[in-house]
Amino acid sequence: MKLKDSLIALIVLAICLIWAFVDGNAASQGIGSAMRLMTPLLLACLAGLYSERAGVFDIGLEGKMLMAAFSAASVAYLTGSAWLGLLAGIGGSLALSLVHGLASITFRGNQLIAGVAINFLASGLTVLVGQNAFGLGGRTPALTGAGRFQPINLPFAETLRDVPVIGPIYSGLISGNTILVYVALLMVPVTWWVLFRTRFGLRLRAVGENPASVDTAGVSVTRLRYAAVAICGILCGIAGAYLATGLSAGFVKEMTAGRGFIALAALIFAKWRPWQALFATFLFGLLEAIANLYPNLDLGIITIPSMFMNALPYILTVIILAGFVGRAVPPRAGGEPYVKER
Amino acid sequence: MDKMPKWADVILTPLISLVLAMAISALVILAIGESPVMAMKTMVEGALGSSYGWGFTLYYATNFIFTGLAVMVAYHASLFNIGGEGQAAMGGLGVALVLLYLPLPHWAIALPVAMIGAAAFGAAWAFIPAYLQAKRGSHIVITTIMFNFIAAAALNYVLVNKLRPVGSMDPASARFPESTHLPALTDIFAGLGMEWGKNTPVNVTFLIAVLACLLVWLLIWRTKLGYEIRVLGKSEPGAVYAGISPVKITVIAMLISGGLAGLMAINNVMGESERLVLNAVEGAGFIGIAVALMGRNHPFGILLAALLFGFLYQGGGELALWTSIPRELIVVIQALVILFTGALDNMVRMPLERLFLSMRRTNGGAK
């Protein structure tokens, strides 16, 4: 049981070690890039974790991130402050969360259809408003200086650089990331603690498994689910803001490029658990980094095209969903609107 | 007893949803400093004001009829097939392989063969999610989303590495042979001595799509299989009790659904571009969701909803051409239609039901 749970972590570690052994320089570059590519995935994955653990399926992660990326980039450009951009990003994403909550909690509609609608709403509105505001075909102007989150160099990063093994890991991977990367990493233990060590977390998980029991205990199902959907919105907001103001310098039409769905895949891969979410999103970040560095990965016997690497997260998720390698069972009340008995 | 009369359920709720979606879209247009009235006029003139506009409107509608029917058939088995996009893309691959590698002397022979290719590839792409749902309980919404992305990657690979003609930079297949080109409706009209829809892509596939509506209606409401699909959709234990195998019906419903989505390729790949290009589906698979919801999962409703979306699509293009409103406006309208008809259905329905109940009471009708 223990071994099975840490399987993803072991696979990730194995890939990193083999890579470092074959080509050390490329590996440290690639693993650093994987960290940055992981960040939006991890935040969105944890966002989905809160929502789905509370019984609200969310296939609108993509749209929320996209909306956040656009609002963050626009406000960061207009005010010159990445922090105000971050706030705006969270606001944009929360607005869509409210729509999702209204549809799937208050009006007991189909959560999946609401998610589809949110994705299209974000995809259309961002270009519509962006074209009107900036006239660049849906892009925002490039962000510079304080409009972007800058890398933070941790203490001793320079002095330790030449120390073997620890040096490249500390100064190349751990140091020199933007603050949002650390926020994302910090969110993993925080999420674990909130979900498994607090009363709120217990209730939140209960509402995703058996809402009637929570209701019987005199706790509002509606309020709990709204809280979960709101947390989901905040995390998607940070994820989108990181995409537009950390990873790149500005918003580009459809810039999330399926990341919301990869995060969803990672969530299933992680079986709705926070630490596994970290490993799964890192694995998917690593796959993306490898596909970027080696468009045609030559393994000697066979050459793997980059399209295959890009599709690998989806293929792996289908295999996991099929239950051939450890079964992924979603929260039991997921997808069901709660109807109080009358 | 129903809370409201059937006509209100079938006509009024989708109409109110549409009006709400349009009203919010109008507000969005106002917010970006344009006139909604002007926008509507441009769209109507561009899409319906000439036979040229109609030609495009009907062409788009043809795509949406197929994808809408695909969503509908799965929906009646209470399966949400969100993978129309990938299934239609695979259908395109089927059409391309058939037309490029089989010697087909005339379009009338090429058409049925290509239809088989399109439907077979689309159905095959729906098979794995269907099988996993039926046998392993893997959620079909997630697997079909994943299969959309896998299809996109696979098509990208095939077009760049296999089907691309030597020396071409464009990730697209070679042109299909001249003999397999489908007659456009404008040619048919020209044959009858009338001038209609010059240079528009609408072709005989439109007639096939209308026929498909009829056939799907017959299938769902007039055959044993359709009955079994609907029973499964209403209640799985009920289906088991009636001796219907949920595994079998789930797989069959999804195969039909995938096949219908695949058939769209006859229109866009064989009829319009006459070669397979990257991203040929252009989101039509997702619009199928809006069309099916708007059309209340009935073929006639889907026909009307597909025409509406064909109009929006063509009108949106005209809007982008003549005004400063980008064509993404139609994506917003599409999102709002999905939101109101699909997810916020109760918001529209509950006040209506209350209204009808109170009307019935004041009219003195018993109970």
Domains of chain A, by residue range, sit at 38-267
Mutate to test the interface with B, among A45, A58, A59, A307 (most CBs of B within 10 A): A307
d(CA B200, CA B62): 13
Map out the domains of chain B as residue ranges.
63-298
Taking an 8 Å cut-off on Cβ atoms, the answer to whether B331 and A261 are in contact is no
| pLDDT of A3 above 70 | no
Distance separating the N- and C-terminal Cα atoms of chain B: 9
Choose between A49 and B167: higher pLDDT. Answer: A49
Q: Residue A135 burial by CB count (10 A; 0-12/13-18/19+): exposed, middle or buried?
A: exposed
Q: Which of A59, A132, A307 sits opposite B145 (nearest CB)?
A: A59
Q: Using alpha carbons, list the distances in angstroms from residue A322 to A53, A67, A316, B197, B198.
A: 21, 32, 10, 49, 50
Three-state helix/strand/coil letters over chain A: CHHHHCHHHHHHHHHHHHHHHHCHHHHHHHHHHHHHHHHHHHHHHHHHHHHHHCCCCCCCHHHHHHHHHHHHHHHHHHHCCHHHHHHHHHHHHHHHHHHHHHHHHHCCCCHHHHHHHHHHHHHHHHHHHHHHHHCCCCCCCCCCHHHCCCCECCCCCCCCCCCCCHHHHHHHHHCCECHHHHHHHHHHHHHHHHHHHCHHHHHHHHHHHCHHHHHHCCCCHHHHHHHHHHHHHHHHHHHHHHHHHHHCCCCCCCCCCCHHHHHHHHHHHCCCCHHHHHHHHHHHHHHHHHHHHCCEEECCCCEEEHHHHHHHHHHHHHHHHHCCCCCCCCCCCCCCCCCCCC
At residue A123, the pLDDT reads 93
The interaxial angle of helices A199-209 and A24-53, nearest 10 deg, is 70
Chain A residues 77-106 with CB within 8 Å of chain B: 99, 102-104
- Alpha-carbon distance B20 to B349, whole Å? 13
CA geometry: angle A231, A229, B86, nearest 5 deg: 115
Nearest CA in chain B to A111: B343
Residue in A99, A113, A314 nearest the CB of B146: A314
Q: Is the pLDDT of residue A278 over 80?
A: yes
Give this prediction's pTM.
0.90
For residue B217, the Cα-to-chain-centroid distance in whole angstroms is 15
How many residues appear in chain B? 367
- The tens place of each residue's pLDDT in chain B, 367 residues long, gives 466 777 877 788 888 888 888 899 899 888 888 888 988 899 899 899 888 999 999 999 999 999 999 999 999 999 999 999 999 999 999 999 999 998 888 888 999 999 999 999 999 999 999 999 998 888 888 899 999 999 999 999 999 888 888 888 888 888 898 888 888 888 888 888 888 888 889 999 999 999 999 999 999 999 999 999 999 999 999 999 999 999 999 999 999 999 999 999 999 999 988 899 988 888 899 899 989 988 889 999 999 999 999 999 999 888 888 888 888 888 898 899 889 888 888 888 888 888 888 887 787 554 4
For position A1, what pLDDT does the model report? Answer: 45
pLDDT tens for A194-207 read 999 999 999 999 99
Chain B positions in Cβ-Cβ contact with residue A114 (cut-off 8 Å): 339, 342-344
Please state, in angstroms and rounded to a whole number, the distance separating the CA atoms of residues B4 and B263: 37
Stretch A224-228: mean pLDDT:
95
Average per-residue pLDDT for chain A: 87
Q: Do A128 and B326 make contact, defined as CB atoms within 8 angstroms?
A: yes
Max Cα distance, chain B (Å): 79
| ipTM of the complex in this document | 0.88
- So what's the pLDDT on residue A2? 60
Tokens of B280: 């040929």
pLDDT in tens, A87-115: 999 999 999 999 999 999 998 888 888 99
Q: What is the reported pLDDT for B366?
A: 47
Query: Of the candidates A54, A321, A327, A238, which has an alpha carbon nearest to the alpha carbon of residue B145?
Result: A321
Residue A23 Cα to chain centre, angstroms: 29
Residues A61 and A127: beta-carbon distance below 8 Å? no
Name residue A177's beta-bridge partners.
A152
